Structure formats: structure tokens, C-alpha cells
Amino acid sequence: MMTQPAPFAEIWRGAFLESVHYGHAVICDAGGDIVEAWGDPEKVILPRSSSKMIQGLPLITSGAADKAGLTTEQLALACASHEAAAIHTDRVGVWLNTLGLDETAFRCGPQEPRDTDARSALIRAHETPCKIHNNCSGKHTGFLTLNQHLGGDADYIDPAHPVQRACLEAFERTTRETSPGFGIDGCSAPNYACTLHGMARAMAHFAAAPDGSAEARLHQAMRLHPELVAGEGRACTELMRAMNGKVAVKTGAEGFFIAILPEQKLGIALKAACGTTRAAECAIAALLVKLGVLDANHPATLKRMNAPIANWGGVVTGTLKPATSLL
């Protein structure tokens, strides 16, 4: 088995191969065994936002979600890396209010919205972004909901805090690994490390989980509300829609991506070695096409796989293609 990263995506300019992205990918079955792998399955990685549904598990298993009467929309937001469109920030604001809290309770920082309309509205109003605009504000509202239930102190992102201890327990249980440690994520919460195989194993665990389980409730919420998980024009939202909500996908920073395939009881985890989003999006699309759940000719697929590259004059100058080894 290879230990070096495998070719993921190729950039062609005319007849010339101009660039190659490399990475690691694993497909796991319900038993946690590797179905197929590229690169190094035992590579230790930080799954970043691709692990948000794992961090959402204690919200349900603790009883906090049901006690708070959380909807499927709120569960989807707990797993989201949203772009701070009104559909995201309005819902996070309402959820915070039901907790009797406001954005000052968040331990994430303010972030400029990725949504063009929201960003333009702030500029026109001469306002600055707030913490609700942070792409992780749904996850943090989930943390706050769990924290109220557990009676923890305000510093819910401290690795020693009951909220984060519960997240680590869920992470090690689903990956079936002892995490070697953590990095601090973009939203200031700890992000635990595991092997790529461990992350694919966790996603297969989600895929095989029975209806009514915490895992099933979270991936069902994601598949039911793809627009809340990311936003218009984003890969997670467009690919889930393209698969008619049958598969949950989730990006993570630095070229990470996962997929949960409940009908096949398979999990995918991949990491672009260069940390590039376009490489990760191309690779996940290729693997979903390979597994027969994504139409190779769907517009959402063609934006990321065999995608034309145009210059500022609108002239198509090249193509982004998946490496043949992925197909």
C-alpha cells in the first residue's frame, strides 16, 4: 500500500499538464475496514470542520437536544460551515435567544460573511461583522446548548471543559482510535487528530447507524437541509442536492472532505496534501461518481470535476480533471 500522496487532480492548459494536486483518501465499510484507499490511510490528520457532526453527537446523546426541542434545521446548523447568509444568521440568532444568550456568549471570533448579499449589507450600513457571522456559529450554539444542559462554566472551548471532553469521547468512540492530540481550529475550539482511516471509519459508522440514533439524526438533518450546511454556490450544498439528499458531504479547511453514504453503509474521508479546496472538491466528486451516487454530468459535478478553467476574458484556457487513479 502506498504511503506517499496519490495524484488527486490535474490542471490541463491546452495539451499540457500544468499542475498536479496530490492527496490521501479512504473508503470504509460498516465494519470499519478499508474498501479502497489512495495514498497513506494511516496518515495522521486534522479533520477540521469535516468533524462537526462528530462534535454534534453529545448534543443528542446527552439529552440536551431533545430537552431544548431542537429542530432538524438546528441540528443541520450544528454541523454547518455556513456562509452567513440571512437564512443562517437569522436562525442562529433565534436559537441563541431561546437559550437566553446573545453573541457575547460565543468563544469564536467575528468573521466577514462569505455571502455576497450579507457582506454588501454590512458595508452599506457601515457595520462590522459579528460572531454570529462566523461560519461555525451554528456549531457553537450547539456547544452552548450542551453547556447549559451540563451546567459547565462559560469557557466551553477549553479542552478540559465537559463540553470538549464529551466531544473527545465521541471522536475516539467513532474513529475507534485514541487521539494523539489536537490543534486549535479557526473557531478556537480544539480539533482532534486521528488517522485518515479512523475518520473514514467514523463516517462509515454514521452511515451504518440505525434510524433514531444520534448519528442518523445528524446526517439526516444535513441531507434534509443542504442549504443550511454551507450555502448557495458551495460544494457541500450543491453536491447534496445533486444526489437528491441521499448522501451527506462536508468540507473541512485545508483540503479535507468527508462523505456519509447511508444506503451503501460507506464512509469516505480525504485530504488534499497541498490543502487546496479545488483538489478536495474534485476528488470527492470523482469518488462519489465512482460509487454511483453522483451523476458525472450533473452541473454541480461539472463545476468541480472536468471543470473548464476560463481567463478574465471568458476564454476557456484549461480543465480541472480528477486523476485517472481515482476513477
Q: What is the pLDDT along the chain (327 residues), one digit of tens a residue?
A: 568 999 999 999 999 999 999 999 999 999 999 999 999 999 999 999 999 999 999 999 999 999 999 999 999 999 999 999 999 999 999 999 999 999 999 999 999 999 999 999 999 999 999 999 999 999 999 999 999 999 999 999 999 999 999 999 999 999 999 999 999 999 999 999 999 999 999 999 999 999 999 999 999 999 999 999 999 999 999 999 999 999 999 999 999 999 999 999 999 999 999 999 999 999 999 999 999 999 999 999 999 999 999 999 999 999 999 999 998
Please provide the distance, in angstroms rounded to a whole number, between the alpha carbons at the two ends of the chain: 18
Residue 3: the pLDDT is 86
How far apart are the C-alpha atoms of 105 and 146, rounded to whole Å?
13
Q: How far apart are CA 65 and CA 148, in angstroms?
A: 11
CB contact set of 241 (below 8 Å; sequence gap of 6+): 226, 300
Question: How many contiguous H segments (helices) and E segments (strands) does the chain have?
Answer: 14, 12
d(CA 111, CA 15) in angstroms, rounded, equals 41
Long-range contacts of 162-165 (CB under 8 A, 24+ apart): 163/58, 164/189, 164/190
Q: Do 30 and 66 meet the contact criterion of CB atoms below 8 Å apart?
A: no
Asked if residue 249 lies in contact with residue 269, where contact means CB atoms within 8 angstroms, the answer is: no
pLDDT, residue 277, reads 97
Provide the pLDDT for residue 52: 98
Q: What is the dihedral of CA 158, 160, 161, 164, to 10 degrees?
A: 80
